[in-house]
Amino acid sequence: MSFPKYPEYKDSGVDWLGEVPSHWSIARTKRLFQIVGGSTPKSDNDLYWDGDIVWITPADLSHLRSFEILDSARRITAEGLASCGTTMVPKGSIVLSTRAPIGSLGISDVGLCTNQGCKCLIAVNIIEPRFYAYMFSIASVQLNIRGKGTTFLELSGDALAAFELVFPPRYEQSVISAFLDRETAKIDALVAEQEKLIDLLKEKRQAVISHAVTKGLDPNVPMKDSGVEWLGEVPEHWAIKRLKHLSPQISVGIVVNPSNYVADEGYPFLYGGDIAEGQVRVDGARRISGEDSKRNGKTQLKQGDIVTVRVGAPGVSAVIPAECEGGNCASVMLIRKGMFNPEWLCFAMNSRMVRYQVELVQYGAAQEQFNISHAVEFLVATPPKEEQDSITDHLLAVISKIDDLIDTSRHAIDLLKERRSALISAAVTGKIDVRGLADVTQ
């Protein structure tokens, strides 16, 4: 869809605003708004806290799903308000975060005050707050480059006061914001649909894997009761094996001060964070010298071994690729290659079949993890070797299709978001003329 343009333009003199309709003016923020800062009551005085005055912090603003601000994570009391330098602002004020991070914003739907990380803009000129909320929402980068600071950036009141904005006639502000309300709602709904699609695809991916590794590919094969309640029926000719009977050796990577072995150069030295589902991220991995790796021969990596994350995202598994041969691993579980197809076992490890067993035995409040002594007992429904190969081929083909689709959907979301901000930008800077496209009574 292409939009009409205004009949006449002029140079705004401001880099990021570019050309604007010739009847618009440019104004510094302080010409349109009174800028009000915030503050925090003493945290150790209970009298100041948990009252009914809404008290906004940058975190409250970054959690907003629309412009309207109705409440804050913490509220303060009238005593709290009186105790510090924060100021109440009326409904309809724009609230902008000015530090860590700069540029989140909303419009007050109740009387409220803020902490020192926000500034409130109270209109002193005739404006439509939603128009300026849209305007500031695309100015985040501009506001950030005006920020100063060593550990975090902060936008000063002076810098905000001098920030240049467009100032169209009030009626046009209303038309533009009504148009944007309608159009951004459509885009947001589309993004939500795409996100739902991605969730469904992930669910399907998991279901396809779990089905293949527990039921096989042939729907007509005779089945038997596995004897394991949660596993149900498996093909009759499959065996239920413990992990320790499948693999010749299961061990844990270097546990004692692995960081002592980290070298500038050498072979890949895998930590849990380098292992993704079905994939080892070799490029970012640490390194270990050949000598040190050999010295820790028990956990020296061979192509076709399987590594499984123990701490953090327990159960996530990948097959060791050729480029990791000779390297080593820290703290992850290492399942040695045996008389099985490693890709098949890796699928089984990443399927609900094994993940369920990981969840049963994992522990740890801060970081979930499991012990090798439990893992060696995990049950795996095991088909004959030729069937492992065919399951692997089938899954690799299906999964790559699903993964492509997930990537494409993510790309679509990025494009929708890009369109959203490009549309806002075009409308609020007058690059497009939407006066005929929204119903607003003058």
* Residues forming the site for another protein (CB under 8 A): 1-3, 15-16, 18, 27-28, 30-31, 141, 145-146, 148-151, 158, 162, 197, 204, 259, 262-265, 286-287, 401-402, 404-405, 408-409, 411-412, 415-416, 418-419, 421-423, 425-426, 432
Q: Least CB distance from residue 387 to another protein, whole Å? A: 22
Minimum distance, C-beta of residue 79 to another protein, in the bound complex (Å): 27
Q: Find the shortest distance in angstroms from Cβ 185 to another protein.
A: 17
Structure-block tokens of residue 244: 């320790």
Instruction: Determine the straight-line distance between the first and last CA of the chain, rounded to whole angstroms.
Output: 26
CB of 338 to another protein, least distance (A): 33
Which residues make Cβ contacts (< 8 Å) with residue 245, sequence separation at least 6?
Answer: none
Is residue 47 a contact partner of residue 80, using CB atoms and an 8 Å limit?
yes
Closest to another protein by CB, 259 vs 371, is 259
Least CB distance to another protein at residue 280 (A): 17
Contacts of residue 401, defined as CB under 8 A and 6 or more positions apart, other chains included, come to none
Among residues 15 and 52, whose Cβ is nearest to another protein? 15
Q: Which is nearer to another protein, 55 or 134 (CB)?
A: 134
Q: Least separation, in Å, of the C-beta of 257 and another protein? A: 11
Q: How far is the CB of 411 from another protein (least distance, A)?
A: 6
Least distance from another protein to the Cβ atom of residue 276, Å:
19
Task: Give dist(CA 27, CA 17) in Å, integer.
Answer: 12
Pairwise CA distance, residues 92 & 107, whole Å: 6
Closer by beta carbon to another protein, 78 or else 141: 141
Q: Which is nearer to another protein, 2 or 373 (CB)?
A: 2
- Quote the CA–CA distance of 434 and 430 in Å, as a whole number: 9
Which residue lies nearer to another protein by CB, 17 or 319?
A: 17
Q: Which is nearer to another protein, 201 or 372 (CB)?
A: 201
Query: Rounded CA gap, 159 and 156, in Å?
Result: 5
Secondary-structure breakdown of the chain: helix, strand, coil percentages, each rounded to the nearest 5: 40, 25, 40
| Helix (H) or strand (E) run with residue 426 in it | helix 385-428
Residues in the chain: 442
CB-wise, 239 or 422, nearer to another protein?
422
b/e burial code for range 246-280 (CB count within 10 A of at least 16 → b): bbeebebbbeeebeebbbeebbbbbbbebbebbeb
Identify whether 248 is preceded by a cis peptide bond (ω within 30 of 0): no
